[in-house]
């Protein structure tokens, strides 16, 4: 595995409560890392602080304790290196689709001529198949098209990291599928490092190289890192036909349905070094690992010790 590109160290966020009450600790000592070019999905229940982690990574929020290093630098504020695709598309309604992308491009490249900016913006609108709707205002676009503009705006500044906060959660299943395919294609073309929040397991399995599983809040933490054992050329259609699909899916479901709650209730189960266990759910015969259904190891550069207990059953 290559060196960590994004690395979170003991990230903690507390929110002040009503006067008199103690502070609310949303998550505590969260550690994780993402390698360069890797696609990481953060999965967890509502209220565990997923969006807060993404906002801290984007530089829009500050952790109460701990820090994040991204691209070799401490995250201290927002940066053009880290483009954000917002959940609610966040397009400026007074600008056309093209105008929205142009605003981003001219912010990224202040020296460019108007024409150069426009050509660049059009190129990225074409990438998400929106060149025909370039002059339309967001109000005239469908939900999926708006989110495409959001993607074009994020990609047009050529970020080193792409941060996505449940980008497709407001879309219907068909549109979501089409946009997921789009993301797969864009990823193959541009290979950015991606950090994405979702609570759609299939979306995570299709897109992510690794899936970070978060326990329930408050005082949530990232308990496990699931390595995606599906082939790299997986498609939405073929996804569920792979033998590793169900072990992966069952593991994720099991975590979301029961273990995320159990772990939240028993923080003493957390590993002492605070780093999440790496799990690689797969059918026994398809892995070259021995001893049972799955292999486990410790994640990341800064981690050591402790093997995750084998609590996952293969099909």
Partner 1 sequence: MHAPLALRAAIISLLLFVGLIGVWHLATLQTGPTIKMDPEYAKLMGSMATQGKSAMPGPGEVGAKLWQHLKDPFYDRGTNDKGIGVQLVYSIARVLTGYLLAIAVALPLGFLIGMSPLMARALDPFIQVLKPISPLAWMPLALYSIKDSSISAIFVICICSVWPMLLNTAFGVATVRREWLNVAKTLEMSPVRTGLRVILPAAAPTILTGMRISIGIAWLVIVAAEMLVGGTGIGYFVWNEWNNLSITNVIVAILCIGLVGMLLDQLMARLQRVVAYAD
Q: Give 8-75 as a DSSP string.
A: EEEEEEEE--STTSPPEEEEEEEEEEEETT-EEEEE--TTSSHHHHHHHHHTSS--SEEEEEETTEE-
CA distance 247 to 313: 8
Structure letter (DSSP) for residue 77:
S
Cβ proximity to partner 1: between 73 and 240 the closer is: 73
Closest separation between CB of residue 193 and partner 1, Å?
16
Q: Least CB distance from residue 246 to partner 1, whole Å?
A: 38
Minimal distance in Å, beta carbon 108 to partner 1?
7
Supply the minimum distance, in Å, between the C-beta of residue 159 and partner 1: 9
Of residues 195 and 245, the one with the C-beta less far from partner 1: 195
Smaller CB distance to partner 1: residue 15 or 94?
94
Q: CB 87 → partner 1: shortest distance, Å?
A: 9
Sites of contact with partner 1 (CB under 8 A): 58-60, 77-80, 82-84, 86, 88, 90, 92-95, 103-104, 107-108, 137, 139, 157
Burial of 17 (0-12, 13-18, 19+ CB in 10 A): exposed
Which CB atom, from 108 or from 199, has the smaller least distance to partner 1?
Answer: 108
Of 302, 299, 274, 279, the C-alpha closest to 289 is: 279
Pick between residue 84 and residue 294 the one whose CB is nearest to partner 1: 84
Query: Quick one: CA torsion of 253, 256, 261, 263, rounded to 10 degrees?
Result: 80
Nearest approach, Cβ of residue 292 and partner 1 (Å): 45
Q: How far is the CB of 88 from partner 1 (least distance, A)?
A: 6
Contact 251, 230 (CB under 8 A): no
| Cα–Cα nearest to 9, from 31, 39, 41 | 31
Q: How far is the CB of 138 from partner 1 (least distance, A)?
A: 8
Between 47 and 78, name the residue whose CB sits nearer to partner 1: 78
What's phi and psi for 119, nearest 5 deg?
Answer: -60, -45
Q: Which is nearer to partner 1, 150 or 300 (CB)?
A: 150
4-15 and 24-35 as β-strands: parallel, antiparallel, unpaired? Answer: antiparallel
Q: 225 exposed, middle or buried (CB, 10 Å; 0-12, 13-18, 19+)?
A: buried
Strand partners, 82: 161
| Listed residue (224, 62, 83, 223) closest to 162, CA to CA | 83
Query: Is 96 or 244 the residue whose CB approaches partner 1 more closely?
Result: 96
E strands of 124-202, at which residues? 161-165, 193-198
């Amino acid at each position: 595995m290559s060196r960590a590109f994004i690395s979170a160290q003991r990230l903690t966020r507390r929110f002040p409560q009503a006067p008199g009450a103690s502070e609310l600790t949303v998550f505590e000592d969260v550690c994780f890392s993402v390698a360069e070019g890797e696609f990481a999905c953060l999965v967890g229940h509502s209220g565990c602080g997923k969006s807060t982690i993404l906002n801290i990574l984007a530089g829009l929020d500050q952790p109460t304790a701990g820090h994040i290093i991204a691209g070799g630098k401490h995250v201290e504020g927002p940066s053009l290196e880290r483009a954000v695709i917002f959940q609610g598309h966040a397009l400026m309604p007074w600008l056309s689709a093209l105008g929205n992308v142009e605003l981003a491009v001219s912010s990224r490249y202040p020296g460019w001529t108007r024409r150069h900016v426009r050509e660049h913006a059009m190129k990225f609108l074409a990438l998400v198949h929106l060149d025909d709707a370039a002059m339309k205002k967001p109000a005239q676009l469908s939900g999926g098209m708006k989110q495409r503009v959001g993607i074009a705006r994020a990609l047009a500044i050529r970020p080193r990291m792409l941060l996505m906060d449940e980008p497709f959660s407001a879309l219907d299943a068909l549109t979501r599928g089409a946009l997921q395919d789009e993301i797969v294609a864009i990823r193959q073309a541009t290979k950015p490092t991606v950090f994405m929040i979702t609570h759609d397991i299939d979306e995570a399995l299709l897109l992510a190289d690794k899936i970070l599983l978060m326990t329930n809040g408050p005082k949530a933490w990232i308990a496990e890192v699931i390595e995606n054992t599906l082939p790299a050329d997986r498609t939405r259609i073929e996804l569920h036909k792979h033998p590793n699909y169900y072990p992966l899916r069952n593991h994720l479901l099991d975590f979301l349905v029961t273990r995320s709650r159990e772990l939240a209730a028993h923080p003493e189960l957390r590993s002492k070094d605070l780093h999440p266990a790496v799990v690689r759910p797969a059918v026994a015969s398809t892995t070259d690992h021995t001893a049972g259904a799955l292999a486990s190891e410790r994640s990341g550069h800064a981690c050591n010790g402790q093997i995750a207990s084998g609590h996952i059953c293969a099909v």
